[in-house]
Structure 1
Amino acid sequence: MKKILAINPVGTDIWDESDYSYFKKHASGDTEVEVVSLKDGPESVESYYLEAYASPRVLDIIKNADGRYDGFLVNCFADPGVRAAREITDVPVIGPGEASMLTASMLGHKFGVAAINKKQVTALEIKVMEMGIIQRFAGARAVNIGVSSLLDAPQETVEEVIKAADFLIGERGAEVIVLGCTGMAYLAEEIKKRLTVPVIEPALTALKLLETLIDMGLTHSKEALYSNPFKKQKEGD
């Protein structure tokens, strides 16, 4: 049995029950998923400040839960705290943003992202450069609907995502579309029906990648990029 802890890096538990049902529906038969949120955190993560605010709280949860789970999923496209978390545990830690964009890069020459807002469009350019896949990035297009409002008018959100995707496919040459928020998970099936290219839903992608890494006995290297902050480093390391 694989035990995975999914962390919603927000200060509300309104997503926890529905996210648990979603993960349970899609997880492998031998996977047990628990979902928690932050006791104190932002309503959503839509800026660098809010990402920085949420990150240490995500790390506290992982640090306190380490040893009880086979992997951690930080359930936000911004991947808050993911890199740091990989240094404080020996099990894999996956973020939906990185996981979905790397997956998309294997399914077509270029991928595009249906982003939440204009700020995310710019931030994604920086992120894909850091990931080393900028040449595979067709760009991002904002739907301009806040995370907490995505499901207020689901059909309206779907239409805005389709508009963004059509632009990225027709004008930017995208062959794969990534949904730029895990809050779009519940709209993914409808969006997939409307598009002729692969559509990547980040939360599901992160879950399946994490399951695969656990099954293969793989976790993050501590040779260089990631280190153990609790272990005294030798001179020259």
Structure 2
Amino acid sequence: MRILVVNVNTTQSITDSIGQQAVGAASPGTEIVPLTPSFGAESVEGNYESYLAAIAVMETVRAYPEPFEAVIQAGYGEHGREGLQELLDVPVVDITEAAASTAQFLGRSYSVVTSLDRTVPLIEDRLHTAGLSARCASVRASGLAVLDLEQDAKAAVEAIAEQAALAVEEDRAEVICLGCGGMSGLTERVAERTGVPVVDGVTAAVKTAEALVGLGLSTSKVRTYARPRPKRFHNWPPTTG
């Protein structure tokens, strides 16, 4: 099967990192295709950037020329999954929901450790919308911007591990979710620090997508995610020049 893994920002190195994590999680016979949107922000850390990313991700997927069996939206707490589900007849998996769903198989409560504090409300809202907030002990910020994760890996691991440990000790979390696509690859180091299971959203999303495809299941088209009705769109896509 072929799975598209779409980064929500335009930083190619983050796409590469996400792609490597996805490939490492994929089963034999699964082809991972990492994609970077052609427009949008270099990192997504607020509502404006997130809504723009939603459009960019949808247009990137619509433009992909080859057949595919599933799509992963690789942004934590971002908008747009619902639009993709309307557009596509294949499973769409968001890494936020994949991580939280997986965590609930592993413990009574889970916490998310993310980047900046301003992203915390977006993640809380996404978990609430998805019906996954009841067992969320906390969403904690590491204080690192998304691009900081690449620039100082040692400091990033320490900041994330510190907040994860506090989530276990103070918030009584039994599982930790890494709340940023750029945190892929940090699970072992955070698990060593905390002593609890650590879920990476990209890995969880790949396994979830493979399972849905293997079961022959996809999004219901009866009501909420029915395909968009045919209609005229004014000046869309926008023209330049």
TM-score norm. by structure 1 comes to 0.91
1:196-225, CA deviations, whole angstroms, 9 ceiling, x for partnerless residues? 111011111111111111111110111222
CA distance in 1, matches of 2:226, 2:129: 19
TM-score norm. by structure 2 comes to 0.89
Q: Which moved more, 1:211-220 or 1:163-172?
A: 163-172
Give yes or no for the alignment of 1:138 onto 2:144.
no
CA shift in 2, pair 1:27/1:133, >3 Å: closer
1:180-206, CA deviations, whole angstroms, 9 ceiling, x for partnerless residues? 101111222222222211101111111
CA distance in 2, matches of 1:6, 1:64: 14
1:3-14 equivalences under 5 Å are 3-14=2-13
The answer (yes or no) to whether the contact 2:109–2:173 under 8 Å persists in 1 is yes
Q: Which moved more, 1:158-167 or 1:16-25?
A: 16-25
1:143-163, CA deviations, whole angstroms, 9 ceiling, x for partnerless residues? 000001112221211111121
Aligned AA (1:65): Y
The answer (yes or no) to whether the contact 1:12–1:41 under 8 Å persists in 2 is no
CA distance in 1, matches of 2:123, 2:15: 26
The answer (yes or no) to whether the contact 1:113–1:179 under 8 Å persists in 2 is yes
1:1-237 equivalences under 5 Å are 2-65=1-64, 68-230=67-229
Aligned AA (2:225): Y
Q: Count residues with an aligned counterpart.
A: 231
% identity of equivalent residues: 30
Aligned AA (1:181): C
CA distance in 1, matches of 2:52, 2:166: 33
The alpha carbon displacement at 1:10 in A equals 1.6
The alpha carbon displacement at 1:72 in A equals 0.8
CA distance in 2, matches of 1:174, 1:142: 15
State the SS of the aligned residue for 1:228: coil
Q: Which runs of 4+ in 1 moved over 6 A?
A: none
Aligned AA (2:67): R
CA distance in 2, matches of 1:213, 1:4: 12
Q: CA RMSD in A?
A: 1.7
CA distance in 2, matches of 1:99, 1:79: 13
CA distance in 2, matches of 1:231, 1:21: 38
Aligned AA (1:172): D
CA distance in 2, matches of 1:167, 1:223: 43
CA distance in 2, matches of 1:90, 1:52: 22
The alpha carbon displacement at 1:90 in A equals 0.3
Which runs of 5 or more structure 1 residues have no equivalent in the other structure?
A: 233-237
